[in-house]
Amino acid sequence: TLTVEEVYKDRDQFAALVREVAAPDVGRMGIEILSFTIKDVYDDVQYLQSLGKAQTASVKRDADSGVAEANRDAGIREAECEKSAMDVKYSTDTKIEDNARMYKLQKANFDQEINTAKAESQLAYELQAAKIRQRIRNEEIEIDIVERRKQIEIETQEINRKDCELSATVKLPAEAESYRVQTIAEGKRTQTVEQARAEAERIKQIGSAEAYAIEQVGKAEAERMRMKANVYKMYGDAAIMNIVLESLPKIAAEVAAPLAKTEEIVLIGGNDQTTGDVARLVGQLPPAINALTGVDLSKVLGKIPGAKA
């Protein structure tokens, strides 16, 4: 006996049991069951349909879980494959970069060696060319030196020839003329020197005579001044008074010089006032003489017997 769930779930077992139960009955009717198919199993209350839904949901759930697990496994596998592929790619790229770097390094080394070889070759070429140019220049210099030596020899011979020609045509006559002019100049110079010496001696004699005369005049003047000083010393204030009195006319002349141009002088006032003015003018004379000569006229007159200041 099968349960409803077993009938619904295990259709093959249900079909085998149905065949096992029905075969004897239909066999007695002369019918042999060779094969049959259970098209559907259902009920009126939709119990089996509900079981189908649960089964369907379970199957779907299992299917979704399986799909998710499959997707997960597929993602993991895909990631692992991608990782492996990336590892292979990175490894390949690294090898490619390493190979490229090695290629570039080797190429750079090769280029450096090639450039070094080219530079050395160029330098060797330039050095050899410079040596050749230097050798050519040295030979040119040697040629120039030889040509200059020859030119100098030719010029020396030409100079000697011209010197001989000048000696014959110009130098000897010029030397003779120079000697004549020099002799004449020496004679004139000697004459001029002698004349200058004579003139200097004459001026010296005249200067000595004039100096002697000036010396004698100075001595005479000094003697006169000495004698005059002795006289002043001997006579004292009287001599000084004599000098003052001799100077008074000159002083009066200098004072009266402006008055010489005056045609007329008019005095206004009485006789007493005029006399007083004259007395005051005379009274101012000693201070004026003292200011001009430094001699106190009142004291000098006081020392003279019979004089009254």
Q: What is the pLDDT of residues 176-208, one digit of tens each?
A: 777 777 888 787 878 887 887 878 787 877 777
149 vs 218: which has the higher pLDDT: 149
Whether the pLDDT of residue 150 is over 80: the answer is yes
Cβ neighbours of residue 55 under 8 Å, at least 6 residues apart? 8, 9
Q: How far is the C-alpha of 240 from the C-alpha of 248, rounded, in Å?
A: 12
Whether the pLDDT of residue 237 is over 70: the answer is no
Q: Is residue 238 part of a domain?
A: no
What pLDDT shows up at residue 276? 62
- Lowest mean pLDDT of 45-54, 70-79, 114-123, 283-292, name the range: 283-292
Whether the pLDDT of residue 26 is over 80: the answer is yes
Question: Are the C-beta atoms of residues 309 and 290 closer than 8 Å to each other?
Answer: no
Q: Is residue 9 part of a domain?
A: yes
Q: Tokens 């045509």 correspond to what residue?
A: 169
Q: How many domains does the chain have?
A: 1
Question: Are the C-beta atoms of residues 288 and 244 closer than 8 Å to each other?
Answer: no
Q: How far is the C-alpha of 171 from the C-alpha of 163, rounded, in Å?
A: 9
Average pLDDT for residues 75-94, to the nearest whole number? Answer: 83
Whether the pLDDT of residue 17 is over 80: the answer is yes
Q: How far is the C-alpha of 66 from the C-alpha of 193, rounded, in Å?
A: 154
What pLDDT shows up at residue 283? 60
Question: Are the C-beta atoms of residues 48 and 8 closer than 8 Å to each other?
Answer: yes
Q: In terms of C-beta distances under 8 Å and separation of at least 24 residues, what long-range contacts does 130-136 make, across chains too?
A: none
Q: Is residue 138 part of a domain?
A: no
Q: Is residue 18 part of a domain?
A: yes
Q: Is residue 213 part of a domain?
A: no
Average pLDDT for residues 240-251, to the nearest whole number? Answer: 66
Q: Is residue 237 part of a domain?
A: no
Q: Residue 300 burial by CB count (10 A; 0-12/13-18/19+): exposed, middle or buried?
A: buried
Whether the pLDDT of residue 227 is over 60: the answer is yes
Q: What is the pLDDT of residues 88-121, one digit of tens each?
A: 888 888 888 888 888 888 888 888 888 888 888 8
Q: How far is the C-alpha of 118 from the C-alpha of 124, rounded, in Å?
A: 10
User: The domain containing residue 24 runs over which residues?
Assistant: 1-48
What pLDDT shows up at residue 243? 66
Whether the pLDDT of residue 212 is over 80: the answer is no
pLDDT band with cut points at 50, 70 and 90 for residue 303: low
Q: Is residue 4 part of a domain?
A: yes
Q: Is residue 34 part of a domain?
A: yes
213 vs 102: which has the higher pLDDT: 102
